[in-house]
Structure 1
């Protein structure tokens, strides 16, 4: 069984929908059981959210204009690709009904003057609920027996609105009951990505980028052989091509390498996508909708000989919009509990810590959080460490915004001497100052904090130091 997930650009226009239909038809020649997961059409989710937020601020014109614009956007594709007049009319009625429901919800938001996370989930998941019926109709028009399925029927989550987690046992039961008969009957289920529902049927979302996660979840609970993530690039690259134009496509990555890259800013995969695949040992493949002949990137549990030959360092990535937080003081040395209280405050603020570095002398603790979380984190730390600050055990709690984490990733770095020397040698030659360093014991990743103005230079110099522009030439 294959699970094919198509991102927003892959369903961004009539031509893109037609290309997706061709890809699905080709996939069925290789495996008769194919599941499709779709994102919203490109730009739709942003339009929906912006309109709902404007409604919460008392602006009603925005959601009315959004309803009309989105209706036209979807009807244009249907008009070009769905030949059957009866089906096209039924699609038009469905689009109109769902968008009028959106308009009514926005009207309620405007009256209340508040957009809750629960309400935002209903609004932001509408794009997928418009795209899935449209894609299913396009597939049927191309001779593929397909049926749209709303993921709220099958993907059961907790009630963490805005970033829900799947309940896999319940989801497996619902998917087996609802989807297995369709697959055995030769039908292609076209599922909405990104969304699910609580056990009580209340709509939820898996967070932005969650359609990748949805596909991996469906692959896991249906025991798929492979999950394919179709996007607009030729797989996972050695670096961001906007920074390094000569970046190359990686033919193979391990789960751990892909997880590190997605966590540290690579945009091709949602960070959570790897998790269900790891648990079930499912192969992932990242492919280009607009260049389907390209082999893309295969993500596997254990690297094959091909993956091992690529070299110790596979890719360089960077994550921006961060704050470096430093808790420092000579009086911290030997004082128990400061680290525990520091990270308890961070947890209470709900902030994600991307990197930690602590001096062996225990005179400072340095860590990195998203810049949006930094004000709350700093306030909570200063409150919790007020006694230590007053007694000068802690001299200062500071934050620095102008920083970037550059991550050097490769599973084969473990046990390979000289990697760090080449990284820091390249940065030294470029006069790039390294503010902080972290390396896990697994040695899959070396993380460096540099100034934002040095970040692109750092990525380019490290990429060149390991000749990643020639990666794969020895295969």
Structure 2
């Protein structure tokens, strides 16, 4: 029985569904993997279905990976709500008396949040799915997924299940399931033969202790098996891909795992391109919402993208780049805008290495030129919510043992250092306070006072210049700091580089790495209230008018 499909509100039961076998022999058509973030799915679902996925099927085989839906601020997104649900579950699990008023309040909050998630997705289904049969089926699927979340709490209480990182990952996975069920149904509603692919059970093999090459290879094979089972249908794949060593949310990967999943999909299908769709045209020389003169970059290198991500620009998860760049052949990543599908976006592609005087690619992907000394950095970025921890040693000089002790204290509290600056008797460390509880910060401070005099500066920001060719820009650091000084921007701390390179010190039986110099990044710490002004000053002087 063929389900009647309505295209743009018009019934057309005779029209066949578009699939990955459209018009051309599928063996000659290359794969393109399209990853859509939660806000894109939440705010622009019709753009995704009609203007991007369906349009792309004319020339390519398409695989889609989706994050959990979000229609507003990140804290109001599905993933944030599911994390709140997990927090409630933790609190319930710690209660000794399940007959208490506190228990009833927690249980009520749990059910309320699940109801909010359910109503949000049902409303999206009713607003966007035109075919009554498809809409009704999707609503049933949404309610079924949400019932599982409710049942999980009951099962955890009844069977005394351990509430740990696996529990958190399991709850978070429902966000991607709901999102992908919605997108798959929307595509079918718009005439695309799509199939929902749940990767939450993809990892059925014994996982290693670390996220190594063998693990990613096995995950890729498991994903490929799921995609091949779809036949010619367009796979709509959950960004959550199962239990991983150390946990997905609490381990090395963390939020942004959907980017990594998309990369694994791209590698396993040998995609021509991985497209990461956002709500901006690509990567800019600065945040265009704060710097009016910011320009779109046609290409950047993976190392530049990694630095920009680390220092505040949400470009792409660093493990994503590792996977696609190391693929054979490397897979290019393109950042595109769901609101402007025809735009070229920004391509993340490795620089071609050439001997002096030979032709190499420039930042224009359509031209070649002789390599020459670059005129400007690639981008300027801000990382906010920074605190600076200053430790003044009680001794006349700092030894490696001092560094080991300091980093051991921070590591125990899971406090990562973004920047470091040292002198003979002093060390300053910039940390991202948004990820640190007040309790952990105070405990770390108390222990650090055993090493010397401690002070903490809050409400700071890291201002960074990034560019793979900055090592060839003579005097760029001096220009940066003199420009800030001339405009009365006070610099609290200067450091060149992030933890990607630096000094190793022994802490117990482990090596700790102290952030050190980098050839593609110059950073300093300033007052947060000066951040936007400082970024505009640098962009004007080092990007707009620098010759």
TM-score, structure 1 as length reference? 0.85
Q: Is the 8 A contact 2:263 2:320 kept in 1?
A: yes
Query: Does the Cα contact within 8 Å between 2:305 and 2:315 map onto a contact in 1?
Result: no
- The aligned counterpart of 1:96 is 143
Aligned to 1:196, what secondary structure does the other structure show? coil
Say if 1:224 and 1:333 are closer, same or farther in 2 by CA, change over 3 A.
same
Match of 1:296 in 2: 345
Deviations 1:304-337 (A, max 9, x none): 3235898431111111112212222262526442
Aligned mates of 2:55, 2:530 — CA distance in 1:
45
Deviation at 1:415?
Answer: 1.5
Q: Distance in 2 between matches of 1:222 and 1:37?
A: 13
C-alpha displacement of 1:172 = 1.9
Q: Secondary structure in 1 aligned to 2:463?
A: strand
After the TM superposition, which residues 1-150 of structure 1 pair with which residues of structure 2 at under 5 Å, given as runs? 1-13=31-43, 16-22=44-50, 23-31=52-60, 33-42=61-70, 43-54=77-88, 56=91, 58-106=105-153, 116-150=164-198
Task: Identify the residue that residue 356 of structure 1 maps to in structure 2.
Answer: 420
Deviations 1:29-52 (A, max 9, x none): 221x21100011112222333344
- Given the superposition, is the C-alpha separation of residues 113 and 141 from structure 1 closer, same or farther in structure 2, using an over 3 Å criterion? closer
Structure 2 distance, partners of 1:180, 1:122, is 25
2:471 corresponds to 1:408: no
> Which residue of the partner structure matches residue 419 of structure 1?
476
Equivalences for residues 189-338 of structure 1 within 5 A: 189-198=235-244, 206-280=253-327, 281-302=330-351, 304-307=361-364, 311-329=375-393, 331-333=395-397, 335-338=399-402
Query: How has the CA–CA distance of structure 1 residues 125 and 175 changed in structure 2, closer, same or farther, with 3 Å as cutoff?
Result: closer
1:413–1:444: 8 Å Cα contact kept in structure 2? yes
Tell me if 1:367 matches 2:452.
Answer: no
SS in 1 for 2:474: coil
The structure with the greater share of residues assigned to helix is: 1
- Considering only aligned residues, what root-mean-square deviation do their CA atoms show, in Å? 3.3
Using a 3 Å threshold, how does the CA distance of structure 1 residues 322 and 462 change in structure 2: closer, same or farther? same
How big is the shift at 1:198? 4.6
On the 8 A contact 1:151/1:195 being kept in 2, the answer is yes
Q: Which moved more, 1:303-312 or 1:348-357?
A: 303-312
Task: List per-residue Cα deviations over 1:375-412 (Å, max 9, x = no partner).
Answer: 536634753773xx4xxxxx413322232111111112
How big is each residue's C-alpha offset from its partner over 1:175-231, in whole Å with a ceiling of 9 and x where there is no partner? Answer: 23222353xx322111111442359xx987852232222212322333322111111
1:452 to 2:480 alignment: no
Does the aligned pair in 2 maintain the 1:320–1:452 contact within 8 Å? yes
Q: 1:426 to 1:119 in 2, by over 3 A?
A: same
Give, in whole Å, the separation in 2 of the partners of 1:62 and 1:159: 35
Contact 2:200 2:240 in 1 (8 A): no
1:187 aligns with 2:233: yes
What 5-or-longer segments of structure 1 have no aligned partner?
390-394
User: How many Å apart are 1:270 and its aligned residue?
Assistant: 3.2
Moved more, 207-216 or 305-314: 305-314
2:264 and 2:303 map into 1 onto residues whose CA distance is: 18
Aligned residues between the structures: 454
Q: Is the 8 A contact 1:3 1:224 kept in 2?
A: yes
8 Å contact 1:194–1:213 — kept in the other structure?
no
Q: CA deviation at 1:437?
A: 1.3
How far apart, CA to CA, are the structure 2 residues paired with 1:219 and 1:322? 35
SS of the residue aligned with 2:376? coil
Question: What residue number does 1:392 align with?
Answer: none
- Alpha-carbon distance in 1 for matches of 2:249, 2:206: 8
Structure 1 residues 70 and 342, CA gap change in structure 2 (3 angstroms): closer
CA contact (8 A) 1:168 1:221 kept: no
By how many angstroms is 1:81 displaced? 4.1
TM-score normalised to structure 2 length: 0.75
* 3-state secondary structure, aligned to 1:217: helix
